[in-house]
Amino acid sequence: MTLFSGLEALLEERGFASAVVRRVAAAAILVSAALLVLGGLLLPFLSWPFWLGAGAALGCWNFVSMAFVVQRIFAKSKGTANISGKILLAQLAGTNLRLFITGILVYVSLVSFSANVFALAGGLSVTVFLIPLLALGRNDRPEDSSGQGKRN
Give CA torsion, residues 128, 133, 135, 139, to 10 deg. Answer: 170
Q: How many residues does the chain have?
A: 152
Residue 145 CA to residue 82 CA, distance in Å, equals 29
Cα 12 off chain centre by: 14
Answer for the pair 127, 59: CB distance below 8 angstroms, yes or no: yes
The SS3 assignment for 6 reads helix
Q: pLDDT per position in the chain (152 positions), as tens?
A: 789 889 999 999 988 888 888 999 999 999 999 999 999 999 999 999 999 999 999 999 999 999 888 888 777 766 666 666 777 777 788 889 999 999 999 999 999 999 999 999 999 999 999 988 887 766 555 544 555 544 44
DSSP 18: -
